[in-house]
Amino acid sequence: LIRYRTGDTVKLYSHEEFQRLCKRAGIDAGPLVFRGLPLGLVWGRVRRLSLPGGGSVSPPEVKDALFRDQYVAAAVTGNFRLLCDGTARSARLLIQLKPGMPEKTRVAHTVKGFLGLQGAASLSVETAAFHDFPYGFGPDYERKNRYVIEA
């Protein structure tokens, strides 16, 4: 289903480009695509947060970092906020931990390491206990989460 003016970000790859990317990643793309047709990768509206010293980070990159490691994925709710003072002089990521999970520096350290590999090393990463997270405790199915907050 194609929606009119979704605002989503799409990257188009020719069949040949997609085959090269898959080969480089060690994936057999044969059963993944129709021969000769282009492929569109859709990942929604990506709002990036500019970081001190250059670089940026997006909510999809944070989600990937939260669920890449089994320990981190088991410790977090998936709720987070990217916070910036509006001048890109300071930026931090605040991650909500699951109920009963004490604040863990291992979670912050692991997530910061993954994001650093993506060019977001200057981002400060912190965790908040479930009830100390100031942006709501559970999922809100009526509206999209506002992951990026610029003051």
**pLDDT above 90: residue 118:** no
CB 22, CB 32: distance < 8 Å:
yes
- The chain-wide mean pLDDT, for the chain, equals 81
Confidence of residue 93 (pLDDT cuts 50, 70, 90): very high
CA distance 132 to 79: 12
Higher-scoring residue by pLDDT: 8, 120: 120
Q: What is the dihedral of CA 145, 104, 113, 48, to 10 degrees?
A: 20
Higher-scoring residue by pLDDT: 10, 123: 123
CA atoms within 13 A of residue 71's CA, in its CB half-sphere: 8
Cα separation values, 118 from 102, 112, 135, Å: 27, 10, 26
Confidence of residue 88 (pLDDT cuts 50, 70, 90): low
**pLDDT above 90: residue 81:** yes
